[in-house]
């Protein structure tokens, strides 16, 4: 349903306040670090190979038998199909014609629609389960293997020790064994700080780049472990264990690890906006969609410490 004229008139008349101001914005610090790659077709196929099937090599002084040890890809291949997240809105002709003097009604709703897709993506990034909902992609909880998963406090759940954080990082062997980030909720970040304090150590800080109030970029200290920055995402759930615990993920980002995929051929645009008339009414409707998925190359690029907090 489009906004009524009364609702449409609530937009600001000041260019300074274009679009809508979120009163409860979500922190998604990881978005600035997460890459997307364009692919052909409707899915990305990853030809993984296990250590056992990689093959062997021998030292040869001359004349040694060198057996055929071709690397054998795992079968079946793992695939990451593109999924479509979409939303829509309507604008009535009167509001568009008379109440867009500064801040356009269609542009305002388009920006809000893209933000809805953005939040939906990051929620699915964490908890997506294509077995329960075939219309969504698998998120972190499904992508991380049991062998790459630890439980805080030696299985009991709670505030992790620094030893357990070290074990989490040690699960990563992709990218030379170096995760790019520790990804968690605010509760997870607080738990990392408490792990330092319990060990009698001042929390480690690492300089990160942030936007200042004047729009310039400057370096500020941020929480870290072993030189790895901790990034906070408000859409990482706190619903584990007792019902209020969370996870800390060690992630390799980009090739070898975790990244987003989008279809090639959209002219560099991630989002599609399609307009249409509403029969018999002075309204137009817009559908805003985003074909997207998340892919994981090597399973050793993701590790999870669960039931934290």
User: What is the full DSSP assignment across 6-58?
Assistant: HHHTTS-S-GGG-SPPPSSPPPBGGGGT--EEEESSSEEEE----TTTS----
pLDDT of residue 20: 85
pLDDT at 34: 97
User: Can you give the pLDDT of all 309 residues of the chain as single tens digits?
Assistant: 788 888 877 877 777 787 888 999 999 999 999 999 999 999 999 998 888 888 888 887 777 777 778 888 888 889 999 999 999 999 988 877 777 777 788 989 999 999 999 999 999 999 999 999 999 999 999 999 999 999 999 999 999 999 999 999 999 999 999 999 999 999 999 999 999 999 999 999 998 877 777 777 788 899 999 999 999 999 999 999 989 999 999 999 999 999 999 999 776 689 999 988 777 677 889 999 999 999 999 999 999 999 999
- What is the distance between the terminal CA atoms of the chain, rounded to a whole angstrom? 42
Structural domains in the chain (count): 1
Query: How confident is the model at residue 172, as a pLDDT?
Result: 98
Write down the pLDDT at residue 158. 96
Assigned domain for 85 exists: yes
15 within a domain of the structure (yes/no)? no
CATH number at residue 82: 3.90.1690
Which residues are CB-neighbours of 254 under 8 A, at least 6 positions away? 35, 180
State the pLDDT at residue 59.
83
Q: State the CB neighbour count (10 A cutoff) for residue 63.
A: 6
18 in any annotated domain: no
Q: Is 216 helix (H, G, I), strand (E, B) or coil?
A: coil
Total residues belonging to the chain: 309
Range of the domain at 304: 27-51+71-308
CA contacts within 13 A on the Cβ side of 59: 1
Burial readout 285-301 (b: 16 or more C-beta within 10 A, e: otherwise): ebebbbbbbbbbbbbbb
Do the domain assignments include residue 76? yes
DSSP for 110-154, please give it: HHHHHHHHHHHHHHHHHH--TTT-TTS---HHHHS-GGGEEETGG
pTM score? 0.90
In a domain, 168, yes or no: yes
Residue 13 located in a structural domain = no
What DSSP element (H or E) covers 85?
A: strand 83-92
147 in any annotated domain: yes
Residue 9 included in any domain: no
């Amino acid at each position: 349903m489009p906004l009524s004229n009364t609702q449409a008139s609530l937009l600001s008349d000041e260019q300074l306040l274009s679009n809508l101001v979120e009163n409860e914005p979500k922190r998604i610090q990881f978005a600035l670090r997460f890459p997307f790659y364009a692919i052909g077709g409707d899915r990305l196929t990853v030809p993984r190979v296990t250590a056992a099937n990689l093959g062997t090599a021998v030292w040869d002084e001359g004349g040694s038998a060198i057996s055929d040890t071709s690397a054998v890809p795992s079968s079946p291949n793992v695939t990451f199909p593109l999924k479509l997240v979409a939303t829509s809105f309507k604008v009535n002709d009167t509001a568009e014609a008379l109440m867009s003097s500064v801040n356009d009604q269609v542009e305002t709703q388009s920006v809000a629609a893209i933000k809805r897709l953005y939040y939906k993506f990051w929620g699915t990034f964490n908890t997506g389960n294509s077995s329960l909902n075939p219309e969504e992609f698998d998120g972190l909880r499904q992508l991380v293997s049991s062998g790459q998963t630890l439980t805080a406090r030696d299985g009991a759940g709670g505030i992790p020790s620094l030893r357990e954080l070290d074990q989490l990082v040690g699960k990563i062997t992709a990218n030379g064994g170096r995760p790019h980030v520790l990804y968690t909720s605010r509760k997870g970040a607080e738990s990392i700080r408490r792990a330092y304090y319990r060990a009698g150590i001042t929390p480690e800080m690492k300089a990160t780049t942030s936007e200042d109030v004047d729009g310039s970029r400057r370096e500020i200290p941020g929480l870290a472990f072993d030189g790895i920055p901790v990034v906070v995402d408000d859409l990482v759930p706190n619903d584990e264990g007792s019902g209020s615990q969370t996870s800390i993920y060690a992630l390799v980002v980009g090739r070898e690890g975790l990244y987003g995929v989008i279809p090639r051929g959209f002219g560099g645009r991630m989002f599609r906006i399609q307009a249409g008339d509403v029969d018999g009414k002075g309204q137009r409707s817009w559908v805003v969609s985003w074909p997207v998925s998340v892919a994981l190359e090597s399973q050793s690029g993701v590790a999870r410490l669960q039931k934290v907090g």
